[in-house]
A = this chain, B = another copy of it.
Amino acid sequence: MKNQDVVQAKIRVPQQGRSKASFERMLATAEQLMAERGSDDFTLNEVAKVGKVSIGSIYCRFDSKDDMVHAVQIRVLHRVDSNMLLGIAGVRERRMSFEAFVPAIVDRIAEALREFSAEMRPFMLRASNDPTVAALGKGSYNRTATAVRDAFLEHRAAILHPDPDRAVDAAFRMLYASLARYLGFGSSIEAAGEGDWTLLKADLADMILAYLHSASAGQRAA
C-alpha cells in the first residue's frame, strides 16, 4: 500500500478523456512489449512508436523510465490480485472437506499465476535490481498469502501439525516457490517448464496435505 503511494506520487495521472486514453496506451504498450520479450528491455522509442504517443508525452507523465515500469507493474498486480483473491474466495465458498479443499486451492493459485505469467515474469527478473519492483511484488504476494492463510485456517481442525499458523505459511511459501519456478519466473529457470503442469499441481497438493496432516512434525524445529 505504502509503496504504491510512493510510486504514484511520481506519476501524473490525467483525468480528461484524450489524455487518459493516451496514458492508458502508454502503459498497455509497455506491458505488451515486456510480456512479449519476457524482460524489461524495451525502449521508450518503441513505446512511443507502437503506442502512438510521443516521447514527450511519456516524460510528461513519468519522471523516468523506471517510474513507468513501476506504473505498469501496479497495473498488472491489480489484475493479478483481483483474480487471485476472487479465486480464493470462490474456493472458500464451496465449503469442501479439507482433502478436497487443498487440491482446489492449489489449482486456483496455480492457474491465477499461470494466467498472468507472461506479464509478471519481467518484474520478477527486475526485482533483484529494483527495490521498488521488489516491494510492489512483495505487497501483492502478501495479500495473496494472507487470503490463503485465512482460507486454510478455516480448516484448522483438520490440520494436525502442532503449529498450524506456521505450517500454513510454510506450505504456501513452498507452493508459491514451486509454481513460480515452473512458470519460469527467473528462479533456477533452467528447469522451467520441465515436467507436467497437472502432475505438478497434484504433487504439490499431496505434499501440503501430507505436511499439514502430519502430527509428528515440528519436533525437529529449532
A207 near B137 with CB under 8 A, answer: no
Q: How far is the CA of A173 from the CA of B176 in the complex (A)?
A: 13
Are A177 and B171 also in contact (CB < 8 A) when A210-B210, A211-B210 are? no
Are A138 and B207 also in contact (CB < 8 A) when A38-B128, A128-B38, A221-B202 are? no
Q: How far is the CA of A191 from the CA of B176 in the complex (A)?
A: 10
Complex interface: chain B residues within 8 A of A205 (CB): 220
Number of copies: 4
Among A13-21, A25-33, A182-190, the stretch in contact with B: A182-190
Q: How close is A16's CB to chain B, nearest CB, in angstroms?
A: 16
B177 near A180 with CB under 8 A, answer: yes
A184 near B128 with CB under 8 A, answer: yes
Q: Does chain B have a CB within 8 A of A48?
A: no
Q: How far is the CA of A209 from the CA of B141 in the complex (A)?
A: 27
B186 near A125 with CB under 8 A, answer: yes
Q: Does chain B have a CB within 8 A of A43?
A: no
Q: How far is the CA of A171 from the CA of B135 in the complex (A)?
A: 29
A190 near B221 with CB under 8 A, answer: no
Q: Does chain B have a CB within 8 A of A1?
A: no
B177 near A198 with CB under 8 A, answer: no
Q: Using CB atoms and an 8 Å cutoff, list the residues of chain A in contact with chain B.
A: 38-39, 103, 121, 124-125, 127-129, 133-138, 140-141, 166-167, 169-171, 173-174, 176-178, 180-182, 184-192, 194-196, 198-200, 202-207, 209-211, 213-214, 216-218, 220-222
9 additional A-B residue pairs with CB within 8 Å, beyond A174-B204, A203-B221: A125-B128, A128-B189, A140-B190, A141-B190, A171-B207, A174-B203, A178-B178, A198-B222, A199-B222
A-B pairs with lowest CB-CB distance, top 8: A187-B187, A186-B186, A137-B190, A138-B190, A210-B214, A177-B181, A170-B203, A206-B217
